[in-house]
Structure 1
Amino acid sequence: DNETEAEFLDRIAKNLEDLIIKEGSDSFSAMIAEPLIGAGGVLIPPEGYFPKIQSILDKYDIHLIDDEVICGFGRTGNCWGYETFSMRPSSMTIAKALSSGYMPISAVIVSEEIFEPIKHASDDVGVFAHGYTYSGHPVSCAVALKTLEIYERINLFSHVSHVAKSFQDRVKKLSSFDHVGEARGVGLVAGIELVKNKETKENFEPYGRIGMLLAETCQKNGLIVRAIGDVIAICPPLVITEDQIHELFDILESSIEEVSKKI
């Protein structure tokens, strides 16, 4: 219970290496990771997590696959989540913001280290083929190209970096509420964890009821958030303004107060 962050990092790195040794390094081709865990409750890795893990992967020649479906295109304050958390991926998966969500499209980006063997092997055994019925759909691709053009034209990633401080400052202030066990985030994404007991971090029973109640209260008051159990996920449009950020958190704070009176 009194484990420091540094001790935690050492422990999980050792757990990973012990597993690799136990199973044999040849059993692993890659580790797949999100820069931060999104749908699992907006879990932010501690500082130094990925460099620590990367050193283990490098030691045993294991690749890192970076899932940028949520974090990619500015969500964490940089274009890519791997930049924010000092990851060194061999390949990346991207989607969602590739078209700003207007059309379904996804892609895989691979390093030269991955691409070259595939290219050379294709000369001998034929094309390394993989696809879906709607792969490369021209409408989705056109929307994605226009989306990327707009991102560049409006300097979106710089905007996110600029307003993220105000956003995260308001996130931190939520920690003062009695039933907020932790308020965490980076860039323009945050998770507000609701607990019954702030000191012990005891959960409400049944788990998820209070989160849903708060989400419903927020919506009634004009704010859409997502309840992931008793974690409230906040993931606003990247074009959000400073004034809109304060409006968002004003509604959220008043909604927390409203729900607290019903507990």
Structure 2
Amino acid sequence: MTRNTPDDATDDPIAGLLRRAGCVFAVEEAALLREHATGATELDQLVARRAAGEPVEHLVGCVRFGDLRLAVGPGVFVPRQRSLLLARTAIAATRARRSPAVLEAFCGVAPIAASVAAAVSDVDLHVVDADDTALDLARRNLPDGTGIHLGTGLDPLPRHRLFDVIAAVPPYVPDSAFDLLTSEARHHEPRSALLGGPDGLDHIKALVVAAQEWLAVGGELLIEMNTAQAEQVVRGGGPPHYESDVVVGDDGQTAVACFRRTR
């Protein structure tokens, strides 16, 4: 669901209830709940659950991500709109290759892979995640024939398999910042999909090292993180034979660290 501006004042009783519960986009959410509910009883139940703090995306079973509507569900990480920066970067990198092989690591419900599949034809697409619930939803968001791999990091991938683009939104929130997250994230999304160690970089650093085994020469590793984290990681230089750069989003806070394997 795209959230650009707060809603206007309204006499809608459901929107009013949601607003009093702290929902900034109450009109938009009221419309989504009405669209999803099969009747008045279910609508009342959904409104009560939303007012109690459950993410609206979990309640309606989908999230708008750019031009896509992706399946999501309770207990999984909901793709953020800021990740459209990574999606656009991955699409551009994929289009630059002939018959590209693309992997989304830490895929969750696979927003990046789904975006690439919708924008580029003739892609050998793969995703990997440690959460089988998220992968079940990812299957609904991806085309038939996508390689689905269950496991930690890149370990489940077949050996000697090379990719032209590896994109990822690893957990990158520092452990100490957990209490600063929204209530929805703290209570309804798995910590394993949010937290990345003391500085938020544990999974990112491990991925940069591990990707050397699976990234083709000339291929690109694209990782979303906070801008300050990206600058820190890129300053570190990465492994040998990598060129690195940072793409910063319009919000100034979200960045994609880009690593290209030169040989």
Q: TM-score if structure 2 supplies the norm length?
A: 0.25
Q: TM-score if structure 1 supplies the norm length?
A: 0.25
Q: Which has the higher helix share?
A: 1
Which of structures 1 and 2 has the bigger CA Rg? 1
